Amino acid sequence: MLGVEPKNLHSSIPVPSVQELASLQLEAVPSRYIRDDMESIISTVASDNTLRVPLIDMTKLVDSESQETELQKLHAACKEWGIFQLINHGVSDESLRNMNKQTQEFFDLPLKEKKRWAQKPGSLEGYGQAFVTSEEQKLDWNDMIFLKALPIEDRNLEIWPENPPKFRESLDRYSQDMRQIAVALTRFMAMGLEIETRELCAAYEEGLYQIRMNYYPPCPQPERVTGLTPHVDIPGFALLLDCGDTPGLQVLKDGRWIFVEPLDGAVVVDMGRITEILSNGLYKAPEHRAVVNKSKERRSIVTFCYPDLSFKVGPAMELIKLGSPPLYKTVTVEEYLGCFFNRKPDFPFIDTMKI
Ligand code: OGA
Ligand code: NI
């Protein structure tokens, strides 16, 4: 979601739709998208990766016979990767397929129609491109729509698409489904960390759920362009639905960019800074990015999950002992978001949370 350090963090200046650019069938992409500063794009896109992102099975976490072993797997996945695929998460394939279809239909609408729900000046919500704040800034090969979904009072219906006709209804259901996964997962993560579960789960029950739908058109020069610049997410975690079978998401693991292979019916769980802070640095919020493909488009639906605004984000009490002093300050989610939006360019945000 983040990564570039823009000057004005509250708004984004309009740039061309990448989807429209892609439809021009250019042989070369405009220089604003060329990332020859990023050696790693060129070197890893085509490489085969032997390392695999861990797979966690929610039914095994629930079943008392397999719980202990699966909890250990979850704990290790959060510590060593900060990202994993979650299967049997309890949300129906129908809900996932439905949201996928609505998203596809939305991006397939003519540009003029999509612009009915465009970002308004001073806001990051709506259809457009995220965090574009200068004419010189390098751009990602990505169009997106970003919407606050829960709590219901946060919904800005002015920019919730009414076309396709079932979009709103699907997003309503989908956001509640993602909350269900978030709460369940939080309980198991807390069990893995051996910290108190009740308060944390309640905070995610009442939490903030913000959804970003990404569209990555085919790109004539995928080895010189980023779909999404490398970044670390800031929420508790993000739940990512890969909408097809074209890989695009990559995570940085031990200095190598590893593809997260799309897995039908799975949800990718990616730790954000809030979990890193809560676990006093034990769980890592990984750096990740999206790459693009020469002939194939790709879509993803990413739900950013936060505890409620009054929840205190700080290292869990149980993890603070002799030899493990707190590494981060404790602030409410509201203050945390305030710090994020007012952070100084060129100064890593997470460092402002360190003691
Ligand atoms: C994001 C993100 C990756 C993807 O939206 O924060 O990391 O594959 N997306 O779309
Ligand atoms: Ni992200």
What is the predicted pLDDT for the residue at 51?
A: 84
Give a yes or no: residue 221 inside a domain: yes
Whether 81 shows a pLDDT value over 80: the answer reads yes
Ligand 1 centroid–CA 336 distance in Å is: 21
**Most confident range, picked from 118-127, 214-223, 343-352:** 214-223
Mind listing the pLDDT tens digit for each residue in 136-185?
788 999 999 999 999 999 999 999 999 999 999 999 999 999 999 999 99
Could you tell me which residue, 39 or 350, shows the higher pLDDT? 350
Confidence at residue 137, expressed as pLDDT on a 0 to 100 scale: 83
Three-state SS for 66? helix
Ligand 2 centroid – CA 113 distance (Å)? 27
The least confident of 63-72, 124-133, 188-197, 274-283 is: 124-133
Distance 173 CA to ligand 2 centre (A): 22
Q: Is residue 1 part of a domain?
A: no
Q: How far apart are CA 186 and CA 182, in angstroms?
A: 6
> What pLDDT, on the 0 to 100 scale, is given for residue 1?
47
Mean pLDDT calculated for residue range 300-324: 95
Structure confidence at residue 36 (pLDDT): 80
Nearest CA to ligand 1 atom 1: 1
| C-alpha 323 to ligand 2 mean position (Å) | 32
User: To which residue do tokens 């996945």 refer?
Assistant: 77
What is the tens place of the pLDDT at every residue in 4-50? Answer: 334 445 556 678 899 999 999 888 899 999 998 777 676 655 455 67
If pLDDT is split at 50, 70 and 90, which confidence band does 321 have?
confident
300 lines ligand 1 (CB under 6 A): yes
Say what the pTM is.
0.94
Residue 145 CB neighbour total at 10 angstroms: 25
User: What is the 212 CA–ligand 2 centroid distance (Å)?
Assistant: 10
User: Any idea which ligand is nearest the CA of 300?
Assistant: 1
The finding on whether 230 has its CB within 6 A of some atom of ligand 1 is no
Backbone angles phi, psi at 214, to 5 degrees: -105, 140
Phi–psi pair at 84, nearest 5 degrees: -160, 165
Is beta strand 249-253 parallel, antiparallel or unpaired with respect to 55-57?
Answer: unpaired
- Asked whether residue 301 is assigned to any structural domain, the reply reads yes
Burial of 325 (0-12, 13-18, 19+ CB in 10 A): exposed
Q: Is 260 near ligand 1, meaning CB less than 6 Å away?
A: no
Number of the ligand 1 atom closest to the C-alpha atom of 216: 10
**Cα gap 270→81, rounded to integer Å:** 9
Q: Is 135 exposed, middle or buried (0-12, 13-18, 19+ CB in 10 A)?
A: exposed
DSSP 86-145: EES-S--HHHHHHHHHHHHHHHHS-HHHHGGGBPPTT---EEE-SS---SSS---S-EEE
Return the pLDDT at 4. Answer: 35
In a domain, 156, yes or no: yes
Q: What pLDDT does residue 122 have?
A: 73
> Rounded mean pLDDT of the chain?
91
**The total number of structural domains that make up the chain:** 1
pLDDT at 349 over 60: yes
**Has residue 111 got a pLDDT over 70?**
yes
Pocket flag, ligand 1, residue 211 (CB < 6 Å): no
Closest atom of ligand 1 to CA, residue 300: 10
Give me the CATH number covering residue 265: 2.60.120.330
- CA 150 to centroid of ligand 1, rounded, Å: 19
Render pLDDT for 257-278 as a digit per residue (tens, 0 to 9). 999 999 999 999 999 999 999 9
Residue 187 in this model has a pLDDT that exceeds 50:
yes
φ and ψ at residue 73, rounded to 5 degrees: -65, -45
pLDDT of residue 48: 55
Range of the domain at 197: 6-353
Give domain status of residue 231, yes or no.
yes
Question: Does residue 249's CB lie within 6 angstroms of at least one atom of ligand 1?
Answer: yes
Whole-number pLDDT of residue 49:
60
With a 6 Å cutoff on the Cβ, whether 212 touches ligand 1 is yes
Residue 291 CA to chain centroid, in angstroms? Answer: 15
The confidence band for 323, taking pLDDT boundaries of 50, 70 and 90, is: confident
pLDDT recorded at residue 5: 36
